[in-house]
Amino acid sequence: MFWRSLSILAIVPLGLATPLAPRWEDVRVKHSWKTVPQNWECEGSAPEGTTIDLRIALKPHREEALVEALYEVSDPAHPKYGAHLSKAEVAALVAPHPDTHELVHSWLAHHGIPSSSVSTTHGGDWLTVSNVPVSQADALLGASYQVYRHAETDDTLLRTVGYSLPAALHDHVAVVAPTTYFGGPRALRKTLHPSPNAKLLPDGDALIRAEIAALEAIHGPGSAASVPSSCKSTVTPACLRALYNTTSYTPAATSKNVLGIAGYLEQYASHSDLTTFLNKFRSDAKSAAFTVTTVNGGLDDQSNPGDEANLDIQYAESISYPTPNIYYSTGGSPPFIADENTPTNTNEPYLDWLDFLFEQSTIPQTISTSYGDDEQSVPADYAQSVCSLFAKLGAQGVTVLFSSGDSGVGDGCTSNDGSNKSMFMPSFPATCPYVTSVGGTTGVNPEKAASLSSGGFSNYFARPSYQDSAVSSFLTSIGTEYSGLYNASGRGFPDIAAQAENFQVVISGSVTSVDGTSCASPTAAAVISLLNDYLLSQGKPTLGFLNPLLYSTGAAGLNDITSGSNPGCNTKGFTAVKGWDPVTGLGTPDFGKLQAIVG
C-alpha cells in the first residue's frame, strides 16, 4: 500500500562490477552551487594546519529495501505492523554493494589517506575520515574549501561551493559532508520568537485550572467546551492537557518509555527554570527532572538558559510527566574559529546527533526537534541521505517529529538555482517523508491555523503514497491558485499541528511568552509519548513512524482545523480546509480518541 519510492532524486541502481583499476582522474561533479549561497561571503583560505572530518554516505545495494520494510511495520493494514526492526536488521537492509567498501578505501588510499583514519558508522553504510588536511580534502574531492562568513549573523563556516567524485564512485557514494551544505542563517534556524501581546501569568495558572475544572464538571473531560476562552491568549500546560484530552491519563510504563528532545545552537535547558515552571504551572509534577546528554562537544551551561531549550523541555515534561525526558545538547554549530586546540571544522549538527544516537543501545521512543532550514539551502543529496537516517529510526520503532517552521508559505521566496524564480519556500527536515511534521494553531473553541505555520510542498521529495488521497483532494480544491509557486507532486507538509502561540515559559526565573512551531512540536511529541506509554503498558509495540497511521485510521483521532491561513511570499498563503491542508495538516491530536484507535 505504501511501498513505492518517495524520492524524486532517483539514485541509479548499481550495475556491473566496477573495474578493478578505476581511473581516479576521471571525475564528475557531485554537487555544486551556481553562486555562493545567499548572504554568505568568502573570507579566503582556511588557516594553515586546518583539518576536516569527512563523512561519506554509501549507497545501499538494495535501494528500496529500507523503505519497504519501514512501511510494512508502519502501515496498520499490513500483517507486519508494529514488528519493528533491530539495529542489526536495519544495517543489513542498508548495506552497500559488496564492492563498495573496497572501492572507496582504494580511492582514499590513492590520495594518501591511511586506513587508520577511516572508521565505519551506522552499521557500515557511512564512513568517517578523520583529521583530513584541507589541502588533501581539496585534492580528494576536486574542491576548494574556503572560510565563508554570513553577512547578517557573522557566523563562519568552512565549505566549498562544489565538489566532484571519480565516475567510478557515483553509483557507490550518496554524499560527502561537509561540502556544500551552508545551512540557514545560523546553520539550524530555531522556529521560535517572543509573542509581544500575550497575557502573562507570573503567579501560575491556578485560575485557568479552576476554570477547566468547572467546565469539565459541566461538559465532561475531553470536551472542547471544557477549555476556557482565556487559553486563547495565555497557553499553559493545563490548557494543552485539556485541549488535547490528556488530563485523565497517568503514564504507567515509565520504566520503559522515554521522550527525547534534540537541541542545537548552544541552547541549554535549565533545571532550576523547569522547577520554577512546574511550581507555577503544574505543581503536582514539581519533582520532575530531565537528564542531559551532551553530543559532539555540546555543553550544559546552567548559567545560560535558552528560550528554545526551556520551551521544549518545560512543555514536553509538563504534558508527559512522569515520563523520563532526555535533552540532547549537540555541539558543532557556527562559528568556526580554527586554532591549535580546535583545528577541525565539521559543523554538521544533524549528522553529529544521528551518529551518536545510532551508537546507543536504546533510543527514546519519541523524539522532538524544533529546528530546520529552507529546503533549498540544503544540497539535495545531503537532504536525501539525512532523510534516510530518519527512516532508519522509524524502522526501529522511533517516532520523529519536527517543527514545520514559522514562515507561512515562505520568506525570501526566490530560487537559488540561478533562475531567481519566484517560489514558495518549503522547510527541511520537515519535508522529509519519514518524519512527522508539526504545524501551528492558535485559539480555542475553535482552534484555527496560526498564520506563522509553515507548510507547502517539497521540491526534493515526491509525494508519498500514504498521503496521495488527502493531498490530491486538497489540490483539486484549490485548482490553479498559486500554480508555478509550488511543486504539486511534492511531499506535502505539515502532517499534524498543535498550539503555537502565547506559550508561558520560564527563562532565568521569569515568565515570558513565546510563539512558534517550536511550541507545537514538543506539545505533539508529548501527546504521542503518552500513546507510546499506553501501548507499552499493554505489552504492545510502540507507534514508530506515524504517518501511515495518521493518514488512514488515525485521522479519526485528530481535530480537523478548518479556518486560518499561512501568508507569505506576498500572498495570503494556503487556507485551512476540511481534511488535510498545507497549514495544519490533518489537525491536532485528541489523546482519548487516538488511544482508542491504537489500543
CA–CA dist 351, 294 (Å, integer): 14
Out of 63, 72, 205, 308, the active site residue is: 308
Element (H, E) at 286: none
CA–CA dist 40, 182 (Å, integer): 8
**Spatial contact of 100 and 58, defined as CB atoms under 8 Å apart:** yes
Beta-sheet strands, E only, within 350-502: 366-369, 371-374, 399-403, 427-428, 436-442, 448-449, 456-462, 490-493, 496-499
63 a catalytic residue: no
308 a catalytic residue: yes
Q: How far is CA 30 from the centre of its chain?
A: 25
3 exposure class (CB count in 10 Å sphere: 0-12, 13-18, 19+): middle
CA–CA dist 123, 489 (Å, integer): 33
Distances (CA, A) of 12 to 8, 62, 104, 174, 491: 12, 11, 17, 10, 21
Out of 385, 518, 521, 529, the active site residue is: 518
Nine-digit cell string for 51: 583539518
Helix segments in 374-507, DSSP class H? 380-395, 468-478
Name the maximum alpha-carbon separation found in the chain.
Answer: 80
**Cα 417–Cα 419–Cα 425 angle in degrees, nearest 5:** 60
CA–CA dist 529, 552 (Å, integer): 20
**Cα 291–Cα 293–Cα 297 angle in degrees, nearest 5:** 150
Using N-to-C axis directions, what is the helix angle for 380-395 and 349-358, rounded to 10°?
30
Tally Cβ neighbours within 10 Å of residue 255: 8
Q: Amino acid identity of 417? A: D
Using N-to-C axis directions, what is the helix angle for 307-320 and 517-537, rounded to 10°?
30
312 a catalytic residue: yes
Nine-digit cell string for 545: 513512524
Nine-digit cell string for 139: 585534492
Listed in sequence order, the residues at least 6 apart from 138 whose beta carbon sits closer than 8 Å to its beta carbon are 144, 145, 160
Nine-digit cell string for 356: 551518536
Q: Amino acid identity of 23? A: R
CA–CA dist 80, 546 (Å, integer): 15
Distances (CA, A) of 555 to 465, 549, 585, 588, 598: 16, 8, 10, 10, 12
**Spatial contact of 158 and 134, defined as CB atoms under 8 Å apart:** yes
**Spatial contact of 498 and 442, defined as CB atoms under 8 Å apart:** no
**Spatial contact of 85 and 40, defined as CB atoms under 8 Å apart:** no
Nine-digit cell string for 367: 523524539
CA–CA dist 492, 487 (Å, integer): 9
Out of 125, 312, 406, 533, the active site residue is: 312
Catalytic residue ranges: 308, 312, 518
